[in-house]
Amino acid sequence: MKKFLPWIILVALIIVVALLPKPLEISPTVSVIVTVLLGLALTGVLVMTMRGHLIGRRTVFLFIGASLTLPFFMNFQMPIKVAPEVQELYDAIAKLPPGSKVLAAFDYDPPSAPELQPQAEAFMAYAFKHDLKVIIMGLWPQGPQQADMAIQKVLQQPAIRAKNIKYGVDYVNLGFQSGNEFVIQRMGSSFRGMFPRDIYNTDCDKIPILNGVDNFSNIDFVFNLSSGYPGTVEWVQIAVDRYGVKLGAGNTAVQAPSVYPYLSSHKLTGLAGGMSGAWQFEQATGEPGVASTYVLPQTFSHMVVIGFIIIGNVALFVGYRKSRQEGV
């Protein structure tokens, strides 16, 4: 019987999902009830742990799954506050006059897209609305594809469609170039040397936006979306250190702490880190997008993880007292 239990649960789940109304939305009252139930279940775990029954990994996994799934259907509003480094990034971009040339380096791939894609979309939407000319490139093979996906999405916004954005005039996608930091290095002397043609094999000399763009001195701002190597660290080390460009970055939350030193040494002008950076950036630019819908599940999952840490420590503390009492 026990052997078939997972399969029975699976089949039951499929039936439940098939019967659910689509799309599913829970009223605020039910949302509160679900939240309370989740809290009660956590309290149950606490009691069990205090009695000395450590729960297994799978139970932890189940809680995480539930805390990330259920809030998708809920109706709550959360206030959002913009952190100073995100504000710095926004201010730097907002200061650019219309027509400024911005180099957007997309150095990430699909696995990091949940965090960085919202930033990419908010940035592209802002750039198009404020007439910034965007030059896209990637040090990661899949980066330019991610850029294209972001652009296709924001071009559907009515306000941007009305602007009649043109490829080659308002933005260009230079594609991927292999060679990691050496690419940045070579771009320092000549963009054409590294990117003679754009992603569609058009000669760069025939692309209006690239007129007069030959090295970093013709670029007003570099925006780097990065999830590892090569990424923001390399851009700082070469583009900022050697060629003195102004660089702002959007990073995955994991990468962000390692670039904080550059932020305080002012080599980096602004940073949006992780999903919270993404929704703060959306908030700052006034382009609420997909990140804003993640605020709730993200907060829930945080609460659950923090709940587990508290449970672990309460258990440790109680166990410590107990062992002392027994020792005396």
Partner 1 sequence: MLALLRIAKLVVFISSSLFVISLLPTHSVHSQDASPSGSNLGPITVRAHDTDNDAGGSVTVEWDDPGYEKMSGFAGFLIWRTNTLTGTSDSVEVTPFGTHSYDDRSVSDDSTYSYLVAALVNSERVMSAPSMQVRSAKQWFDSRLTWVLILGLIICGAVIYFIESAKRGTKLFLRRIAGLEAIDEAVGRATEMGRPILFVAGIQDMDDVQTIAGLTILGSIARTVAEYDTKINMPVRASLVMTAARETIKHAYVTAGRPDAYNDDMVHYVTDEQFGFVAAVDGIMVRERPAACFFLGAFFAESLIMAETGNSIGAIQVAGTAMPAQLPFFVAACDYTLIGEELFAASAYLSGEPRQLGSLKGADVGKAIAMIVILVGVIATTIASAWNSESMLWIENLLRKMFSTG
Partner 2 sequence: MKREIPLIITFVAGVAFVLQYFIPHYPFNRFENLFSDWFSIVGAFAIWLGALSLIKLCLLNISKKAHDWPISLLIIVCFLAIVVAGAIDGFNGLKNVPTTSFRDPGTNFDWLYQNVYTPLSATMFAILAFFVASASYRAFRARNTAATLLLLSAFFVMIGRVPIGDYLSAWLPPSWQLSQWANWLMAFPNTAGQRAVMIGIALGTVSTSLRIILGIERAHLEG
Partner 3 sequence: MDSAIIGTWLAALLTLGIMSFLYKDNLYYKICEAIFIGISAGLWFITYFWDSLYRIAWIGVVHEGRYVLLGGVVLGVMMLMRLFGKIGWIARWPLAFIVGATAGLKMMVYFTTNAMAQIHGTVNDTMAAFGGSGLYDVVGRIVILIGTVTGLVYFYFSKEHKGLFGGVAKVGTWFLMITFGASFGYTVMSRMSLLLGRIDFLLTDWLKLVK
**Footprint of partner 2 on residues 213-232 (CB under 8 A)?**
none
List residues binding partner 1 (CB under 8 A): 57, 111, 189-190, 212, 214-215, 217, 228-229, 240-242, 244, 254-255, 257-258, 267
- When CB distances are held under 5 to 8 angstroms depending on the partner's kind, the choice from partner 2, partner 1, partner 3, none that residue 167 binds is none
Q: What is the DSSP letter of 256?
A: H
Residue pair 181/144 in contact by the 8 Å Cβ criterion = no
Judged by CB under 8 A, does residue 301 bind partner 2? yes
- When CB distances are held under 5 to 8 angstroms depending on the partner's kind, the choice from partner 2, partner 1, partner 3, none that residue 228 binds is partner 1
* H-run or E-run covering 29: helix 28-50
Judged by CB under 8 A, does residue 305 bind partner 2? yes
Residue pair 140/110 in contact by the 8 Å Cβ criterion = no
Judged by CB under 8 A, does residue 63 bind partner 2? yes
First to last CA, the chain: 47
Written in H, E and C, the secondary structure of 226-249 is: ECCCCCHHHHHHHHHHHHCCCEEE
Toward partner 3, which CB reaches closer, 119 or 171? Answer: 119
CB contact set of 126 (below 8 Å; sequence gap of 6+): 93, 132, 285, 287
- When CB distances are held under 5 to 8 angstroms depending on the partner's kind, the choice from partner 1, partner 3, partner 2, none that residue 214 binds is partner 1
Q: How far apart are CA 36 and CA 300, in angstroms?
A: 12
- When CB distances are held under 5 to 8 angstroms depending on the partner's kind, the choice from partner 1, partner 3, partner 2, none that residue 217 binds is partner 1
Toward partner 2, which CB reaches closer, 118 or 133? Answer: 118
Long-range residue pairs from 60-65, CB within 8 A, at least 24 positions apart, any chain: 60/308, 63/38, 63/304, 63/308, 64/301, 64/304, 64/305
Toward partner 2, which CB reaches closer, 130 or 192? Answer: 192
Q: What are phi and psi of 104, to 5 degrees?
A: -110, 115
Closest CA to 273 of 239, 240, 225: 225
Residue by residue, DSSP assigns 49-63 as HHTT-PPPHHHHHHH
- When CB distances are held under 5 to 8 angstroms depending on the partner's kind, the choice from partner 3, partner 2, partner 1, none that residue 37 binds is none
Q: How far is the CB of 247 from partner 1 (least distance, A)?
A: 12
List residues binding partner 3 (CB under 8 A): 6, 17, 20, 22-24, 58, 61, 64, 68-69, 72-73, 111-115, 141, 178, 236-237, 241, 252-254, 256-258, 261, 264-265, 273-276, 290, 294, 297-298, 301-302, 305
Site residues (vs partner 2, CB under 8 A): 57, 60-61, 63-65, 68, 78-81, 83-85, 109-113, 141, 145, 178-180, 182, 185-186, 200-202, 257-258, 260-261, 263-264, 274, 276, 295, 298-299, 301-306, 308-309, 311-313, 316-317
